[in-house]
Structure 1
Amino acid sequence: MTRRSSSRPDPVAFSTVTTTIPARLDRLPWSRWHWTVVVGLGAVWILDGLEVTVVGSVASRLAEEGSGLPITVAQVTGTAAALYVAGACLGALFFGRLTDRHGRTGLFLVTLAVYVMSTALSAASVSVWWFFLFRFLAGFGIGGEYAAVNSAIDELIPSRYRGRVDLVVNGSYWIGAMGGALLSVVALDTRLLPRDLGWRLTFAVGVVLGLAVLLVRRRLPESPRWLLIHGREREAERLVDAIERRVERQTGRALSPVAKEITVRQRPGVGFLEIARTLFTVYPRRAVLGFALFIGGAFLYNAITFGFGSILVEFFGVDSGATGYWFAVVAFGNFLGPLLLGPLFDTWGRRPMIAGTYVLSGVLLFLTAWVFGAGLLDATTMTMCWAVVLFFASAGVSSAYLTVSEIFPMETRAMSIAFFYALGTAAGGISGPLVFADLTSSGRVDDAVLAFCVGAALMVLAGLVAAVFAVPAERRSLEDIAAPLSALDPGAPAGPGRSGGRDGSGAPGEAGEGEYGDPGERSGIPGG
C-alpha cells in the first residue's frame, strides 16, 4: 500500500509518499515469473561472451586472403578490440545516466536493439572502416546493457535470492564464451564453410539469439522501485499487485501481509554532481571497494586471457587452430564458479565470500605461476590450473557487479554500475594490452610468470580491501543497504531541505554504523 501526502490528480505529480512496495517485492517466493526476468534480462551476457570470443577466434581468418575483408590480425585484435572497449565504456556511462533518469525498461530494449543491429552490420562488413564502426557501436550497446540490466535485476529479484541470481547472470557470459570457442572451430573449417562466409555466420548466430531475447524482454515490467521514486506510485502499485497475483497463481500460496514501510520525497532525477558527491563523499569506503574489485578482476583476467593462446602454442605445442577447445574448458570452469558458489553469497554472506574468492583465486594464480615456471605443467594441467583459478575468480568478479549495484542509493544505481564497469573495462582493455601482451607473447617463461604474478597480486589486494570494506548486504532490502537519496522518516516534513537522510542533510550515509559501518560516514538507513 502507498499513501500520498497530497492528492493531486496528475499521475506524475511529485510528492511525499509512504509505501510498502520494496518490502512486498522482497518477500515474494521464487516463481516462474522470476525465471522470466532472469532469462529476459540475463541472456545478453551470453551474447557478450559469444561476441568477444568469436572476434578473437576469427582474427586470423579475417586477415587471410579471400576472407572478403581487407584487414590485418593487428587491426582485429588491436584497433577493433580497442574500439569495442571504448564503445562499451561510453555506452555504459551514456545509457547509465539515461537509465537512472528515464527508467529501466525502455533503455534495456534500446541497448539490446543497438547491439543486435551493430552485430548484424558487422557480419556484413566489406571494408575496414565499416567493421571498425560497428564494432564500436556493438560495444556501445553492450556497455549500456550492464547498467540497465543489472539495475533492473537487482530491483526485481527478492533480497534473499539477489546474490546468487546476480552472480549466475553475470557469470553466464562464460556460457557464451564457451559456445563462441566451439562455434569458431566449426565456422572456420573451410571443409564445411567457404572462407568468406564462416566468420560472418558466427556473427549471425548472435543476431538470432539477440532477437529472441528482445522478444522476451518486451513482456518485462518497469522497476516498481524506480516508478515509485519518480512520481508514478499508482502505476507501481498496480504493477506490484499484478506481480503478486501471478506469483500466487504460480506457487499456489497466499502471500503474507507486509507492514514495513519507507517514506520518500519523489523527484525527477539527480544530476552528475549529486551522483559524484554520493559516491565519493557520502560513501567513500564503498567507492574504494568498487575500484578495488573491478581493477583486481580486470588485471587477473587479462594476465590469463592475453597469454592463453600464445602460451599453449609457444610452450606446449598446441595447434593454433585447436585452442578453441582448450578455451571452452576454461570457460566452463568460469561459469561453474558463480553457479556453485553463488548461494553462499546469500548464506555465508557477502564479505567472507567476496574476500575469500578474490584472495583464493590470487593465491592459486601465484601457485600456478610457480609450477609453470618450474616446468612442471603440460597443456592439460596448465589448462586445469587456469580453470580452477577462474572458478573462484569468476564468482568474485561477478560479485563486483552485484556489489556496486546494491551498495549505492536507488537514484544512482545504474550510473554507479556504469562508472565502475567503465573503469574496469578501460583498465582491462587499455592497461591490459600494455602490461600483458608483450609479456605473455615473448616466448620467455619468466615474462609469463611475471604477468601471472601481477594479476595475482592485484587480485589478493582487492580481496583484502573487501575483507575490510565489504558491506554485509545478504538478505537485506536494497533500501536497507543504501537508503534512496529521497528517503525520509515517516511523518518528517517534506520541506526543501528534506531530500535525504534522517538528519535532514540529504545524505543517507553508510548502513549499519556501529556494526560494520565507518563512523566517518553518515548513518541512518531505515531498518539498518
Structure 2
Amino acid sequence: MAETGSAASSVLERLPVTGWHRRLVVLVGLGTFFDLYEVFLGGVLAPVLAKEFGLGSTGKALVIAAGFAGMFVGANVLSVAADRLGRRRVFILNLLVYSLFSLAAAFSPNIETFLILRFLAGMGLGAELVLVDAYLAEFAPSRVRGRMTAWAYTIGFLGVPLAALLGGRLVARQELFGIDGWRWLLVFGGLGAVLVLALRTQLPESPRWLESRGRDAEARNVVAAIVRKVAPQTPLPPAPAASDIAALGDDEAPSVGEVLRIAFRDYRSRTVMLVIFQILQTVAYYGFATLAPLVLVSKGFTVTDSLGYAALSFAGYPLGSLVSVPLVERFERKYLIIAAALGIAVFGIVFAAAGSVMVIVAAGFLLTAVSNVFSNAFHIYQAEIFPTAIRTTASGIAYSLSRATSTVLPFVAVPALATLGPVAVFSGSAVLIVLLCLDVAVLGPRSTGLELEHVQQIS
C-alpha cells in the first residue's frame, strides 16, 4: 500500500511558511499542553492524595495508573476514529471528553470515584498526541515538518513545570475559596481544555486524509482556501474528474484487522520497530516524570519541597523541546532519538544517586531536557512512517502500548522504589533504554527532509 503523491495536497509542499502555519501550530500545541499537563499530574497528585485518603504504595500507583489506563483505551478507540471520521472531528471530541471528566474528577468525594473519573478523562486524551503528530505531518511542508511539530510540543510542555508549580503552591495552601488545593489542579485542566476546544473548531480538515478517502473535491477546496490566505499566486492542480471523486467511500475505511495486516505485510520492519519502541519508551520517558516527586520524598524531602524541586527539574521539558526545534531538521530523526535516549539513561542514574539538592535539580533538569529532544523526535518520526489512510490507526495502536506500559509501570516501579531504592530502579531503566536504541538503529527507516509519500517507499 505504498503511497504516491496526491493532487491537491501536493500544493501544500510548495507553500511558503507564513503566519497561517504558525497559527496552526499554536492551536494544535495548546491541546498538547493539556495532554502533557494531565500525564505529569499523576506524579504530582500521588503524594498529595496519599495523605488525603491514606493511600499506601498500591493506592499511589493507582493514582498514577488510572489516567494512563484511560489513555490506553482512548488511544486505540480515538486513533481508529480519526482515520474513519477525520482528524478535525476527533480533535474536538477528545478535548470535550477530557474537559467534562476532569472537571467532574475535581469534585470526587472519595478515591474510588476519583480513579474512575481519571480513567474517563484519560480516554479523552488517549489519541491527542497521535493526532497532533499526524495532523501537522499532513499539513507541513517536508522541509519544516519536524520543526513545526517540535514548536507545537514546546507550547505543550509548558504544562509540565506548571503542573508541578501549581501543585506545590496549591498543596502548600491546602484550600482556595474553601476548595482543596489539589482539586483546583483538575479544575484548571478542565476549564482550559474548554477554551482550546472552542479555538479548535476553526481548524480545517486534513486534505491528505480527505484524498485518502476519495473526497478529492473537498480536499481541493480546503487547499484552495489555504492558498488564498497564504500564497494566492500558487497554482492549484486541475479539478479531479467526476469519476475519480469518492473512489473510497466513508464506509470503506480499512478495518483495524486490515490495517494491522497492511502494516505487518507492507511495513513489517518499521511496524515491529515501533511496537518494541513504544513498550520500552515508557520506561525511558515517563519513568522519571511520574516517579520524581516520590523519589524525592524517599530521599527525606517533604511533599511540598519535593514538588518544588520537581518543578525546577521539569523546567527542562519546555527548554529541551525548544532546543529540539533546530535539531530535528539538522540530524536524521532515528539517530537523534538514539542519542537523546542514551542521555536519559545517564542523567537518570545521576539523579537517582545524588544526595545534594543542587545535583538533584541539575541532573533532573538535564534529564528532562534530553527527554524532550527524544520525545519530539519520536513523535515526528511515528507520524512519518505509515501512509495517510492508516496513519493514525497504525501509529495510535502502537502508541497505545506505551500507555498500557505506563499503566503497569507504577505497580512495578513504586514498590521497587520502596524496596530497592532509586539507583536500582533507574539502572534497570537504563538497560531497557539500551535495548530501545538497538531496536531503532536496526529496524527504523530514514525520514528527515523527505515527503511523506517518499518515506513509504523506503524498505
TM-score normalised by length of structure 1:
0.78
Q: What is the 5 A alignment of 1:52-201? A: 52-62=39-49, 72=55, 77-170=60-153, 172-190=155-173, 193=176, 196-201=179-184
Structure 2: stretches of 5+ with no match in the other structure = none
Aligned to 2:335: 352
Amino acid at match of 1:231: G
Given that 1:182 and 1:328 are in contact with CA atoms closer than 8 Å, whether structure 2 keeps it comes out as: yes
Given that 2:149 and 2:380 are in contact with CA atoms closer than 8 Å, whether structure 1 keeps it comes out as: yes
Residues 323 and 366 (structure 1), Cα distance of their counterparts in 2 relative to 1, 3 Å cut:
closer
d(CA) in 1 for partners of 2:175, 2:111: 26
Q: What is the 5 A alignment of 1:44-443? A: 44-62=31-49, 72=55, 77-170=60-153, 172-190=155-173, 193=176, 196-248=179-231, 254-255=233-234, 266-267=247-248, 268-315=252-299, 317-365=300-348, 372=353, 377-430=355-408, 432-442=409-419
Which of residues 429, 441, 445 in structure 2 aligns to 1:471? 445
Name the SS of the counterpart of 2:176 in structure 1.
coil
Name the SS of the counterpart of 2:449 in structure 1.
coil
Residues 460 and 175 (structure 1), Cα distance of their counterparts in 2 relative to 1, 3 Å cut:
same
d(CA) in 1 for partners of 2:162, 2:330: 31
Residues 365 and 53 (structure 1), Cα distance of their counterparts in 2 relative to 1, 3 Å cut:
closer
Amino acid at match of 2:230: V
Amino acid at match of 1:418: G
d(CA) in 1 for partners of 2:135, 2:218: 16
Residues 50 and 368 (structure 1), Cα distance of their counterparts in 2 relative to 1, 3 Å cut:
closer
Amino acid at match of 1:413: R
d(CA) in 2 for partners of 1:42, 1:205: 17
Aligned to 1:42: 29
Given that 2:324 and 2:376 are in contact with CA atoms closer than 8 Å, whether structure 1 keeps it comes out as: no
d(CA) in 1 for partners of 2:325, 2:245: 32
d(CA) in 2 for partners of 1:191, 1:265: 58
Amino acid at match of 2:37: L
How far does the alpha carbon of each residue in 1:418-449 deviate from its partner, in whole angstroms, 9 at most, with x for none? 1122111111220x22432223233x6xx422
d(CA) in 2 for partners of 1:191, 1:426: 33
Aligned to 1:489: none
Q: Calculate percent identity across the aligned residue pairs.
A: 27
Name the SS of the counterpart of 2:231 in structure 1.
helix
Instruction: Tell me how far 1:202 sits from its aligned partner.
Output: 1.8
Given that 2:282 and 2:402 are in contact with CA atoms closer than 8 Å, whether structure 1 keeps it comes out as: yes
Name the SS of the counterpart of 2:173 in structure 1.
coil
Aligned to 1:29: 16
Residues 58 and 434 (structure 1), Cα distance of their counterparts in 2 relative to 1, 3 Å cut:
closer
d(CA) in 1 for partners of 2:120, 2:446: 37
Amino acid at match of 1:402: I
Instruction: Tell me how far 1:454 sits from its aligned partner.
Output: 1.6
d(CA) in 2 for partners of 1:411, 1:26: 19
Aligned to 1:11: none
RMSD of equivalent CA atoms: 2.8
Given that 2:40 and 2:289 are in contact with CA atoms closer than 8 Å, whether structure 1 keeps it comes out as: no
How far does the alpha carbon of each residue in 1:351-398 deviate from its partner, in whole angstroms, 9 at most, with x for none? 3322222233334445666xx2xxx64122122112213322321133
d(CA) in 2 for partners of 1:191, 1:207: 20
Given that 1:360 and 1:460 are in contact with CA atoms closer than 8 Å, whether structure 2 keeps it comes out as: no
How far does the alpha carbon of each residue in 1:120-149 deviate from its partner, in whole angstroms, 9 at most, with x for none? 111122244432221111000010323333
Given that 2:342 and 2:434 are in contact with CA atoms closer than 8 Å, whether structure 1 keeps it comes out as: yes
Residues 453 and 265 (structure 1), Cα distance of their counterparts in 2 relative to 1, 3 Å cut:
farther
d(CA) in 1 for partners of 2:184, 2:298: 30
How far does the alpha carbon of each residue in 1:100-136 deviate from its partner, in whole angstroms, 9 at most, with x for none? 1111111111111000111111112224443222111
How far does the alpha carbon of each residue in 1:294-350 deviate from its partner, in whole angstroms, 9 at most, with x for none? 2332112354345423432333x4322121221122222122222212322212222
Given that 1:303 and 1:451 are in contact with CA atoms closer than 8 Å, whether structure 2 keeps it comes out as: no
d(CA) in 1 for partners of 2:56, 2:351: 30
d(CA) in 1 for partners of 2:188, 2:146: 30
d(CA) in 1 for partners of 2:110, 2:301: 32
Instruction: Tell me how far 1:198 sits from its aligned partner.
Output: 2.0
Given that 2:39 and 2:67 are in contact with CA atoms closer than 8 Å, whether structure 1 keeps it comes out as: no
d(CA) in 2 for partners of 1:441, 1:205: 32
Name the SS of the counterpart of 1:231 in structure 2.
coil
Residues 227 and 256 (structure 1), Cα distance of their counterparts in 2 relative to 1, 3 Å cut:
closer
Residues 107 and 386 (structure 1), Cα distance of their counterparts in 2 relative to 1, 3 Å cut:
same
Amino acid at match of 1:437: V
Instruction: Tell me how far 1:226 sits from its aligned partner.
Output: 1.0
d(CA) in 2 for partners of 1:171, 1:284: 32
Aligned to 1:495: none
Given that 1:147 and 1:415 are in contact with CA atoms closer than 8 Å, whether structure 2 keeps it comes out as: no
Instruction: Tell me how far 1:59 sits from its aligned partner.
Output: 4.1
d(CA) in 2 for partners of 1:352, 1:64: 43
Structure 1: stretches of 5+ with no match in the other structure = 1-16, 483-510, 518-528
Given that 1:231 and 1:266 are in contact with CA atoms closer than 8 Å, whether structure 2 keeps it comes out as: yes
Amino acid at match of 1:469: L
Residues 232 and 302 (structure 1), Cα distance of their counterparts in 2 relative to 1, 3 Å cut:
closer
Given that 1:109 and 1:217 are in contact with CA atoms closer than 8 Å, whether structure 2 keeps it comes out as: yes
Given that 1:80 and 1:136 are in contact with CA atoms closer than 8 Å, whether structure 2 keeps it comes out as: no
Instruction: Tell me how far 1:169 sits from its aligned partner.
Output: 2.9
d(CA) in 2 for partners of 1:358, 1:62: 32
Report which stretch shifted further, 224-233 or 190-199.
190-199
> How many residue pairs were aligned?
449
Name the SS of the counterpart of 2:105 in structure 1.
helix
Residues 32 and 450 (structure 1), Cα distance of their counterparts in 2 relative to 1, 3 Å cut:
same
Report which stretch shifted further, 238-247 or 149-158.
149-158
Given that 1:363 and 1:460 are in contact with CA atoms closer than 8 Å, whether structure 2 keeps it comes out as: no
